[in-house]
Amino acid sequence: MSEPMGEPAIEPALTPPLTPGQIRGRRQWPLPKQADPAAPLLQVRNLQTYFKLGSGWVKAVDDVSFGLTDGEALGLVGESGCGKTTTALSLVRLLPTNGRIRGGSVELFGIDLVAKSDLALQRYRWREISIIFQGAMNALNPVIQVRRQIAEPIRYRLGQSEAASQKRAEELLDLVGIPSRRLGAYPHELSGGMRQRAMIAMALACDPAIVIGDEPTTALDAMVQAQILQLLEQLRRELGLSLILITHDLSVVAETCDRVLVMYAGRVAEEGPVARVFTEPRHPYTRKLLGAFPNIRSDRRTLETIPGEPPNLLNPPPGCRFAPRCPQVMPVCTEVVPPEAVFADGVRVACHLYETPVHETPA
């Protein structure tokens, strides 16, 4: 058995990002037949994904809307169980068997994927939207060489020849920094960081427009985590990928993402440019979340905690789901679902503190 590999050194300079026009122009495959070339890359509207249990429906994602443009990186954050993974899996309906999309739409290039049959959706999984899961060891097949695992989707989903798919797999492994002498390795022969690189190569195999990273670096040490994130950032710029990054690490979102979507108990609390949301959080939950996150300058003893628990999504409270924990709760909050207020700087907030629909300046 070979020794696990070390990580290549961090490369300092990043290439400038591609423009949206360049990104659509560099696609290896034509847009899907029903695509509207003028439509946004991804537009999710009022998505509802529930899980059926004996005792009722778990409202894991309830009326969630957001968009993603070409080459953009969106961070998805919020406490454990708030619906981040379910939102991501709903995009290509890779849900557990008791999961159902009960409403809303997921438009990719203007095509509603929710309306597609499972068979028709195959065209979009991995070819348009791919997912890098946490913990590559569980996602990779332990008895198949990594190169073969990457070549397989190229062969079967894109209908390439055996030789062409092997060659493409080698190119991809090179792209993610796995040296050619490691091409024949099995997953257990690679270090954790190298395995996560292999997962990234697999996610890129069919040249997707959108890559979703569901806590892609959680199991790695801080140095390797930084290297993998830098690789993702470099690939995003070079290949014009759009990225949805799910993480509990707000500093990763601050460094990597253009926009951030803060979820609470299956709903959007706040969404907007990272630079605005992180410097001037408006939703009481976003403020608490940021206050609870350690940064290099903070003293861990003075970090805030968020008292209480998120609600049970089998039977969430009416009105605002954050009300039982909110320091600014008002009578209306426990009765009426807060409408979304949109601010002039591109931030939207679902909270009764901001009643007027369009705000020129933050309240």
User: What angle, rounded to 10 degrees, do the helices at 222-239 and 192-204 form?
Assistant: 20
What letter represents residue 102's amino acid? Answer: R
Q: For residues 215 and 263, what is the distance between their CA atoms, to the nearest angstrom?
A: 15
Partner touching 352 among ligand ATP, Mg ion, ligand SF4, none, CB below 5 to 8 Å by kind: ligand SF4
Q: Are 32 and 124 in contact (CB under 8 A)?
A: yes
- Nearer to ligand ATP (CB atom), residue 17 or residue 78: 78
Q: What is the C-alpha separation between 65 and 248, in angstroms, rounded?
A: 20
Closest approach of Cβ 306 to ligand SF4, in Å? 12
One of 187, 322, 341, 347 touching ligand SF4 (CB under 6 A)? 322
Q: Which is nearer to ligand SF4, 136 or 351 (CB)?
A: 351
d(CA 191, CA 31): 37
Residue ranges with strand state E in 9-157: 42-53, 56-68, 73-77, 99-108, 111-112, 129-132
Q: Name which position in 5, 7, 44, 51 contacts ligand ATP (CB under 6 A).
A: 51
Per CB under 6 A, does 323 bind ligand SF4? Answer: yes
**Phi, psi (rounded to 5 degrees) for 63:** 70, 45
Least distance CB 259 / ligand ATP (angstroms): 18
- CA–CA separation, 3 and 6 (whole Å): 9
The answer to whether residues 233 and 208 touch, using CB atoms and an 8 Å cutoff, is no
Interface mask toward ligand ATP for 169-208; x: CB under 6 A: ----------------------------------------
Q: Considering the rule CB under 6 A, would residue 352 count as an interface residue with ligand SF4?
A: yes
> What is d(CA 135, CA 300) in angstroms, rounded to the nearest whole number?
28
How far is C-alpha 245 from the chain's CA centre?
3
**Nearest-angstrom CA–CA distance, 207 and 157:** 11
CB of 233 to ligand ATP, least distance (A): 22
Binding residues among 92-121 for ligand ATP as defined by CB under 6 A:
96, 98-99
Residue 329 interacts with ligand SF4 (CB under 6 A)?
yes
Q: Which of 330, 339, 344, 346 binds ligand SF4 (CB under 6 A)?
A: 330
Give the residue, chosen from 43, 48, 49, 85, that forms a contact with Mg ion under the rule CB under 5 A.
85
Q: Show the tokens assigned to 106.
A: 């997921």
Are the C-beta atoms of residues 69 and 242 closer than 8 Å to each other? yes
Return the range that interacts with ligand ATP (CB under 6 A); candidates 24-32, 73-81, 201-209, 322-330: 73-81
86 binds ligand ATP (CB under 6 A): yes
Query: At residue 222, what is the residue type?
Result: A
User: Segment near ligand ATP (CB under 6 A), from 8-16, 83-91, 141-149, 297-305?
Assistant: 83-91
Which positions touch ligand SF4 (CB under 6 A)?
283-284, 320, 322-323, 326, 328-330, 333, 338, 351-353
- The residues binding ligand ATP (CB under 6 A) are 51, 53, 58, 60, 78, 80-86, 96, 98-99, 313
| Residues lying near Mg ion in the complex (CB under 5 A) | 85
